Chains A and B, each alone.
Chain A
Amino acid sequence: DARVTQTPRHKVTEMGQEVTMRCQPILGHNTVFWYRQTMMQGLELLAYFRNRAPLDDSGMPKDRFSAEMPDATLATLKIQPSEPRDSAVYFCASGSGGGLVYEQYFGPGTRLTVT
């Protein structure tokens, strides 16, 4: 049963610290998405990649967030420096995009708390 994996599942950190979240997409999926879920904003897209190339990162605060795909099996989302307002659940999703129809399969999420 292929799944998207995310690490860590939970992260508590102090304001100003660097946070790195990792995602392993489903093998064979060429599109990776990063979403953030908060009570106030709901689910919103931060960035997404196709074949490791960034296609849209307009949802990310550029001054502190960065997203990369070092290889096809790893996507990272980094926050430096972190702030309390970054507290949220961060989801990675993958799909075999590029065609007309595909589903996005979500990982279990990383729950980030910045104190």
Chain B
Amino acid sequence: AQKITQTQPGMFVQEKEAVTLDCTYDTSDPSYGLFWYKQPSSGEMIFLIYQGSYDQQNATEGRYSLNFQKARKSANLVISASQLGDSAMYFCAMRPNFGNEKLTFGTGTRLTIIP
């Protein structure tokens, strides 16, 4: 079984500052993928970034980077130079690379960017 833990229900960050959203996971699968999704108030789920368990380097996508620490089973999302449009719910998720391909989601972190 897989489990995702997001311990920050809500965060407030000043515009233009960097923000780190925490995510820890638990799995017995040897190969897996970690994902972050953004859900703005409009409700859609927007894929942000992916990290494979065997990737040697941390994933980056524009202002998003994933701080992957495999030994600690953490996959924190870092948003640099935050913008007002970053205000949303953020979900960490994981999926095994073999077998059942369902995404297991965390409970999410509500990020609010303050002007």
Contacts and interface: CB of A to CB of B under 8 A. Distances in A.
A104 B97 contact: no
Contacts of A61: none
A104 B105 CA distance: 13
Contact of A56 (B42, B100, B105, B108): B100
Interface residues of A, number: 25
B44 A103 contact: no
Contacts of B107: 42
Contacts, number: 53
Main secondary structure of the interface of A (DSSP, over half): strand
Interface in B1-50: 31, 33, 35, 37, 42-47, 50
A43 B91 contact: yes
A42 B105 contact: yes
